[in-house]
Chains A and B, each alone.
Chain A
Amino acid sequence: MRVTIRTIFLAILLFSLSALARAGEGPVVDTGITSWMLTSTALVLLMVPGLAMFYGGLVRTKNVLGTMMHSFAAMGIMAVLWVVLGYAMSFGGNVLGGWFGWNKDYFFLKGIDETIMEKGIPEYVFSMFQGKFAIITPALIAGAFAERVTFKGYVVFIALWGILVYNPLCHWVWSEGGFLYQMGTIDFAGGTVVHISAGISGLIAALYLGSRRGHPKTSMPPSNLVMTLTGAGLLWVGWFGFNAGSSVNSGLDTAQALTATQAAAASGAIVWMIIEGLHYGKATALGFASGILAGLVAVTPAAGVVQPAGALALGAIAATLCYLTISMKNKIGYDDSLDAFGVHGIGGIVGAIFLVFFMRGDHSASDVISQLGVQSLAVGIAIAYAAAGTLVLVFLIDKTIGLRSGEKPEMQGMDASYHGEHGYGMLNLG
């Protein structure tokens, strides 16, 4: 047969029609968005070992494994819970008056094996991406009560906290049926859901469980700032998945979120460096890393809605206020050991509130004020709910299976007491 233009045209037409027919009902996979979202999912998971290293380097040698296990255990427990019922509770339709969600198809993720969402990504990808946030949030809390909790108590605590605090909060802010979502709360990647909830919960738990034995008189300096800085680097890179991935897209808003993330992190770092340099005459490595985190936390709720100048501002404000909070903590004397509240709580609040002044586009003063009201309400609700939930859980768990370490295990160290290991082995012998 002679191949004419008409033949070619008909062949193409026939092929396209049959492709459509084969795809069946529903959206087609957008490979561009899906590949970025797959990458983001992996990047956010990488943040958890990064957090393990960041925190692990800040504690004493006898507690390094115990502290890192707080992050690693979350990777196991929260991920299993997410598959079984976390995704359903967070992104299912409202039940119990909207306290959380439910969708029987999401139970064990059994109903979404072939689902492609409207945006063109398989629902598995969205679910797994979101699941990473559920993992890292309790791992952040652990920083507040570092070096003084039992492993068994911790494991039970994060499981219950995930189910009773994180899932509802995630549902309210990010699910279309959630009441904070419907109120118009802007929380691009988890300022309230992740950082404020973790920061406040950490503070409440730290206050309830009491300070570390010997605090504040005994000197407890970081044992491995090299590991802490490495962890900070991993967190910064992973955060691009955290924020830019929260655009659930691979397009302009993704690029805007990535740029805002970079700007805020850098701004937070150098502002902290400057403040510390002026205050003490020396800019510490830990201070620089803390500034990075303060900036990243603050831009998390705002990454998709602010322009670079606004992101620089958020980073600077967060670094300043977080620095002040930590100085205040030292004066007041409570033991938020690794500044879960000082950096994540305050940084999240700064970002969630101040973003209204830097929103992209033309906004009248009354727009800004009205959004400020919405943000403040969401922040207030997140604080109240996380605080109440954590207080109840910490009280119950400590009274039943025990959450606070006893004096002897605390003195001996978590590595030996709870894991039967030595994190740094026999350093003397090389």
Chain B
Amino acid sequence: MKIITAIIRESKLDEVREALIENEITRITVVRVSGHGQQIDEDIYRGKKVVPNLIPKVKIEIAVNDAFVDITVDTIMKAARTNSTGEVGDGKIFITNLEECIRIRTNERGGKAI
């Protein structure tokens, strides 16, 4: 079992979610975050250009069984890219191991509970 964490543009959230649902990945957690990598975001404040340090993004977390890792990653990548070549700021995906998953309602554990 793995957790797929993707940090994507705010404006891409709906597209990514729709694409995931189309590929039958329907369980997801979404959080608003701020951060920066290579991307720089300029604001104009009282006649001065200001470069905020932190840029609003969206983080999505999906717990998947190993068989679903590739399809999930591919779906997210296709939907979250700005266009076919992509642009700085499109985001990143992290895959981490998931040690245990438990359904609170029924106490099921493991792959079934995902």
Which of B10, B12, B52 meets A426, CB within 8 Å?
B52
Assess whether A195 is interfacial by the CB under 8 Å rule: no
Which of A214, A420, A421, A426 meets B56, CB within 8 Å?
A426
A and B contact pairs by CB, cutoff 8 A, 28 listed? A62-B10, A62-B11, A214-B14, A217-B18, A218-B18, A219-B14, A411-B12, A412-B11, A413-B11, A416-B41, A419-B44, A420-B42, A420-B43, A420-B44, A421-B44, A421-B45, A422-B43, A422-B56, A426-B52, A426-B54, A426-B56, A427-B32, A427-B56, A428-B32, A428-B33, A428-B34, A428-B56, A429-B34
- The contact string, 1 if C-beta is below 8 Å from chain A, for chain B 15-44, is 000100000000000001110000001111
How distant is the Cα of A420 from the Cα of B34 in the complex, in angstroms?
18
How distant is the Cα of A428 from the Cα of B43 in the complex, in angstroms?
18
Given contacts A421-B45, A427-B32, 15 further A-B contacts (CB under 8 A): A62-B11, A218-B14, A411-B12, A412-B11, A413-B11, A416-B41, A420-B42, A420-B43, A422-B43, A422-B56, A426-B34, A426-B52, A427-B56, A428-B33, A428-B56
Contacts of A412 in B (CB 8 A): 11
How distant is the Cα of A428 from the Cα of B12 in the complex, in angstroms?
18
How distant is the Cα of A411 from the Cα of B34 in the complex, in angstroms?
18
Contacts of A429 in B (CB 8 A): 34, 54
Contacts of B44 in A (CB 8 A): 419-421
Spell out A's residues near B (CB within 8 Å). Answer: 62, 214, 217-219, 411-413, 416, 419-422, 426-429
**In chain A, what residue has the closest Cβ to B53?**
A426
- The contact string, 1 if C-beta is below 8 Å from chain A, for chain B 34-69, is 100000011111000000101010000000000000
**In chain A, what residue has the closest Cβ to B11?**
A411
How distant is the Cα of A49 from the Cα of B82 in the complex, in angstroms?
35
**In chain B, what residue has the closest Cβ to A415?**
B43
Closest chain-A Cβ to B72's Cβ sits at a distance in Å of 21
How distant is the Cα of A250 from the Cα of B52 in the complex, in angstroms?
53
